[in-house]
Structure 1
Amino acid sequence: MKVDNIETAIDPLTGEEFVPKRSNQKFATRENQIKFNNLKAAEERKAKARTRKILNSNRKVLKKVLGDKDEVKRSYDHLEGAGLDFGYNTHTMAFGDVNWICVDDYAYTVIGENLFKIVKLL
């Protein structure tokens, strides 16, 4: 937008018109930029909150089941009873021909019909 040959811009947070001091300036003030980015980050955290809560719970279950051991074997019923939600994980990894389902720094894999091996990743 031009007013008397002066380039102006619109602040995305407040909608106010201002004269930018730099060619890439998008906000009228640094405070507006910080507030805009904080609101955007809060919105993203809120969107991920339910999933992250389940993932945190899954991590706690795997940590508790593993205890201070390097690896343990547990049945599906045991893990389900402990509260593990098998529908939520952070990533999967393949070591050779074994696929591991991971929740942050813990992983489990199927080793039998109703049996899983759980390990802590390094």
Structure 2
Amino acid sequence: MKEDDTEKTIDPLTGEEFVPKRSNQKFASRENQIRFNNLRAKEIRKAKSKTRKILDTNRKVLQIVLGPYNEIIRSYDYLLGAGLNFGFNTHTMKMDGITWTCIDDYAYALIDANTFKIIKLKV
């Protein structure tokens, strides 16, 4: 069988044309596949980095404010002054009829007009 008789495909990383040895081969070499996947993962990390940095800061603030206690109550102004960004969280959950705003393994809930309860979630 001549090389001209086989189907050629294009490597997504380099754009080079090659003859695949397997039916599901997409890259000319394993190195190209690794580099392509690493570049894609880097783009994803870069896109998430600003948000993740804010979330990490929020988690650290809640960790410091909570200290050694299981739960604590603090005012909105106190949390704002400590550096909590209320616009960023990882998820919300309902527990005992209360909606908790969560940042990884910490959560806070509004208990009255200007006061929040902060807890550490059991994971």
- State the TM-score, normalized to the length of structure 2: 0.95
RMSD between aligned alpha carbons? 0.9
Alignment of 1:1-122 (within 5 A): 4-122=4-122
Deviation for aligned residue 1:109: 0.3
What 5-or-longer segments of structure 2 have no aligned partner?
none
Look up the equivalent residue of 1:102 and give its one-letter code: C
Look up the equivalent residue of 1:46 and give its one-letter code: K
What 5-or-longer segments of structure 1 have no aligned partner?
none
- State the TM-score, normalized to the length of structure 1: 0.96
Q: Give distance in 1, aligned partners of 2:15 and 2:63.
A: 49
Q: Give distance in 1, aligned partners of 2:5 and 2:63.
A: 64
Q: Summarize deviations over 1:26-78 as a string: whole Å, max 9, x none.
A: 00001100000000000011111110110000000000000010000000000
How many residues matched? Answer: 120
Q: Give distance in 1, aligned partners of 2:96 and 2:20.
A: 56
